[in-house]
Every structure is written in C-alpha cells, then in structure tokens.
Structure 1
Amino acid sequence: MKILILGDVFGRPGRNILRDQLSDIISEHDIDFTIINGENASGGNGLTIKNARELLSLPIDAITMGNHVWHQKEMLDAIDDFPQIIRPLNYPDPCPGKGYKIFLHQNKKICIINLSGQIFMPNLSCPFSSIQALMDDIKDTADLFIIDFHAEATSEKIAFGYYMDGIATAVYGTHTHVQTADERLLPQGTAYITDIGMTGPLDGVIGVDKEIVLETMITKRPKRFVTATGKVQINGIILEISDVDGKATAITRFYETYEV
C-alpha cells in the first residue's frame, strides 16, 4: 500500500493546486490512500464548510487539522458532519469532532490520529499521555496507525516520534510549513519526518504575502495578513506499507513547484 500525505494546505492557492494536480500525482505514484492537513485551507486560518466540501470532492480520504481547527467558527457545529475531518485528540472533553478515525481501505483498517504539541502552542492536554490512553483502548482495532503531530518545536516532534517508535506505523509533523530533510525509519520501524511542509504559496512567508510580514517585523505594528501569490508548491511524503505485516518499508519526501 502507498499512502500520500500532504502538508498544510494554505488558502486558495493550496486548494487550487490540489484541484489541478492531485489526481495526476495519485496516478503517477500509484497512491492508494490520501491524507492532507487542512487547518489553513480557508484564507490560511481554519477550514470553512464550503472549502471542506471542495477538498473532499477531490480524491482525498482524510483531513487532519491543528491549532486553527476552530478559527472558522462554523466548524464548531459542523465538524461532526464530516467524518473525514480529524481534530487534535488532546482537546479537553467535551469537544466536538473526533481525535482519530479508523478508515477501512483495501481490507486494511487505517487509523488516522491528530495531536497538537505543547511547546509554543495552545495549552491542551499532554499529547504523550493522550496518545498512551488512546492506544491502550484501540491498539488491537486497526492494522495501521498514522499520526499527524501538529507541533512547533522540532525537539518535541522528534521525542514524540521515538515515543511512538514500534507502535505507530508513521509519525509525521505538521504546522511549521517548512519541509524538513530528516525522513527515515526509526530503530523499531516507525516511519518519521519532523515536518512534511506546506501545500500553497512558495513566494511568501509560510503562506503569507512577504511584504506584509516584513513590514510587521520591521515596524512591530500589526497588519492584516494576506495569502501570498505567485508560484505554488506541493509538499508531503509518500509512505510505502508492507501488505504482509503492515509496517512501513519506506518514507519518501514529495516536493514539487508549479507556475500559476
């Protein structure tokens, strides 16, 4: 089995490039299952109902989220209408939506889990204790466990990868929008990368118009962020999973740029 996982889809440029390129990417690489992170898909800040439907009309099987999951307020009431959308598991109860979802695909049960880190991030429950409690309950219910760890600090992401080594099929980081070059199989076989990057504007500052970001950094005065224009990128990874034992056999970075 080959699983395509794409990094934070940012605004209209990210959605449009997936509309134009995703089917070809899936065909070219013989992809069986596709996951995206959608927490920046609406203007770089959350996910609207309209944009959720737009993305799910594409060959996308699951959408993970992150710290912007509730920034489009309509999603608070609507998230339970979208079983493909997975918000961070470690929000305190009661909370709308689900922190994990098991998908049946090609006779395999694929469990997708979303977690938020703690360092420089909103103060949610501990991701380490949250995943431990969940795995105690569901470890025998799925063939594959794939975790989107949405976090800022590289050290926390790496530590979490080791914490889940041999337990999760794959742990990949999102949130920073910058793809890292440390993809590997950890000693106990878990596929790992610190950040899979961003799908959206290339000629900006992590998705935002660079002139606006420069102005705010130089003047220290706030200004409304606007999505960057120009070239776009698609960042992510391709996981190869053994059909025999469900373990990752390879993790490969995916990085393409496009003129629009």
Structure 2
Amino acid sequence: MNLLFLGDVVGDMGCDILEKKMYSLKQKYKIDLVVVNGENSATGNGLTRYSYQRLVSVGADVITTGNHCFKRKEALPLYDENDTLLRPANFPKGVPGHGYTTLDLGYCQIAVVNLMGTTYMEPLDNPFFCIDSVLDEIDARNIMVDIHSEATSEKKAMGFYLDGRVTAVIGTHTHVQTADEMILPKGTAYITDAGMTGPELSVLGVKSELAIEKIKYHAPVKFEESENPCFINGVVIDFDENSGKANKIIRIIER
C-alpha cells in the first residue's frame, strides 16, 4: 500500500494548492491513504471548521495536529465529533478528542497516532511512555505516527525507539523538510520533518518581512500569510499491509 503524508498545511493558500494538486498527486503515486497535518490550516494558524472541511474535501483520510490544535475555540467540538481528526495523545485526560484512530479498510487495518514532543515545547505527558500505552491499546499491524516536535533529536530518538514496532514515524512542526528519509534497521520508515504545504518564499508560511521584524526587534508583530506561490512537502510510504513493515519512503516536493 501507499500512504501519502503531507506536512503542516498553512492557511488558505495551503488548502488552495491541495485543491489543485491532490488528485494528480494521488494518481502519480498510486495513493491508498492520505494523512495531513492540519494544525495551521486556518488563516492565522490553528484549525477551524471551515479549514477542517476543506482538508476533508480534498481527500484527507486522517488529519493530525500539534501545539495549535486548541488555538481556535470554535474547533473544540470537532475533536469529539470526528474520529479521524486527532490531537496529540499525550495531552492531559479531560481535553476534547483522542490521540489515535484506526481505519478499517476491510482487507487491513491502519492506525494513525498523533504525538507531541516536549523539548522546547509545552510540558505534556512524556511521549515515550504515552506511545507505549497507546500501542498496548492498538490492534493493528500498520501504525503511522506523527511526532510533532521542535527538537530534531527528540524526533530521531522516537524513530529509533519505535523501530520495528510501527510502520512509520514522521516528524512535523518545524515546516522545513529534512533530507534524512530512510528505512530504519527493523523496517520502520522515518523522516525528521515532512516539511510544510504553503507559500515557499516565506518564513514558515509567514511574510518574511514580518518574521524578520519580530526576530530582529523582539516586538509584537501581527503575522500575515505570505502571498507567494505555494509548494507541497511530504512523503510517500510504500508498506506491506500484511507485515506492517515499510518497503520504501520517498520525499516529495511539488510546486
């Protein structure tokens, strides 16, 4: 089977390019399942009902998130209403939603897990202990993990920690695609960051002059989405649905 994972979708323009390109992407790579990180899909980041519906309409089977998952109050009910919209599993008990879902395709089951790192980020539950508990609950050979984390070392450590236990570990959050896609020794596909889907000539999707002003002067700046042409970053993972082992991971950039 082939799974398409797309890095953080940024704003309306990120959704726009998916509307234009998703069909051809699925045809080109013979995609069976699409997972998209949508935590920045609303204008100004976060996720809204409108941006959620746009991602679903272009073909996202599962939508993962991260530290901005609860930024928009209007989105909170969505996490309980939709099994395929995830927030990180290591959020405290009592928050809306759930951290993993299992899709039953008839001939196989595929689980998608959403985790968030804690290095340089919010002090959530330890993601390593959390994933151990989640894996005890999942009854599926094919397991895809989105680790939404700032530190490359934390994502790399999670990859090796889960090698042979899951089908793929895919990093998100930094919006910059890394060139370290690989199949780990025990058969798990890995990449430190899938990148982003949004304006290419930008600072993580934001107008570069605004990001420079913020970093240079440390003063409050209202970020605005860049209006430059977009690109799509992600990976395609070819895996054996009977064993749960990955055969190949291909890093993609579509302009």
Shorter chain as denominator, the TM-score bin is over 0.9
Deviation per CA, 1:96-125, whole angstroms, max 9, x where unpaired?
A: 101000001251100000000010111110
Q: Distance in 2 between matches of 1:117 and 1:69?
A: 14
Give a deviation string over 1:204-233, Cα, whole Å, max 9, x none: 101100011111222221110000111211
Mapped pair 1:118 → 2:118 = yes
Q: List per-residue Cα deviations over 1:18-70 (Å, max 9, x = no partner).
A: 00110111011110100000000001411101111121112110100000000
Q: Are 1:46 and 2:46 counterparts?
A: yes
Q: What is the match of residue 153 of structure 2?
A: 155
Instruction: Tell me the CA shift for residue 168 of structure 1.
Output: 0.7
User: Once the two structures are superposed, what CA deviation does each residue of 1:171-226 show, in whole Å capped at 9, x if it has no partner?
Assistant: 01000000000000111111100000000010110110001111122222111000
SS at match of 1:166: coil
Q: Which residue of 2 aligns with 1:14?
A: 14
Q: Unaligned 5+ residue runs, structure 2? A: none
Q: Select which of 226, 232, 236 maps to 1:234.
A: 232
Partner of 2:136: 136
Q: Which residue of 2 aligns with 1:79?
A: 79
| Residue 137 of structure 1: how far off its partner (Å) | 2.6
> 1:2 is matched with which residue?
2
User: Structure 2: how far apart are the matches of 1:224 and 1:44?
Assistant: 9
Q: Is the 8 A contact 2:141 2:166 kept in 1?
A: no
Which whole-Å CA distance do the structure 2 matches of 1:245 and 1:65 have between them?
A: 27
Q: Name the aligned partner's letter for residue 49 of structure 1.
A: R
SS state at 1:86 partner? coil
One-letter code of the match for 2:151? A
Which whole-Å CA distance do the structure 1 matches of 2:96 and 2:167 have between them? Answer: 26
Q: What residue identity is the alignment partner of 1:113?
A: V
Partner of 2:144: 146
| 1:131-177, Cα deviation, whole Å (9 max, x unpaired) | 01111232xx1120100000000000000111101101000100000
Distance across 1 between alignment mates of 2:59 and 2:91: 28
Contact 2:141 2:241 in 1 (8 A): no
Tell me the SS of whatever aligns to 2:50. helix
**Letter of the 1:153 counterpart:** A
Query: C-alpha distance in 2, partners of 1:58/1:199?
Result: 14
Alignment of 1:99-114 (within 5 A): 99-105=99-105, 107-114=107-114
Given the superposition, is the C-alpha separation of residues 27 and 69 from structure 1 closer, same or farther in structure 2, using an over 3 Å criterion? same
C-alpha contact 1:44 1:207 (8 A) present in aligned 2:
no
Q: Tell me the equivalent position of 2:164.
A: 166
Q: Distance in 1 between matches of 2:211 and 2:183?
A: 36
Return structure 1 stretches of 4+ with deviation > 6 angstroms: none
Contiguous gaps of at least 5 residues in structure 1 = none
Alpha-carbon distance in 2 for matches of 1:117, 1:44:
22
State the number of aligned residues: 255
Cα distance in 1 for residues equivalent to 2:78 and 2:6: 23
Aligned partners of 1:216 and 1:99: how far apart in 2? 33
Q: Are the aligned partners of 2:166 and 2:244 in contact in 1 as well (CA < 8 Å)?
A: no
Tell me if structure 2 keeps the 8 A contact 1:9–1:39: yes
Query: Which amino acid counterpart does residue 236 of structure 1 have in structure 2?
Result: G
Report what 1:26 is aligned to. 26
RMSD (Å) for aligned C-alpha atoms: 1.0
* Residue of structure 2 in register with 1:59 after alignment: 59
Q: 1:224 aligns with which of 219, 222, 225?
A: 222
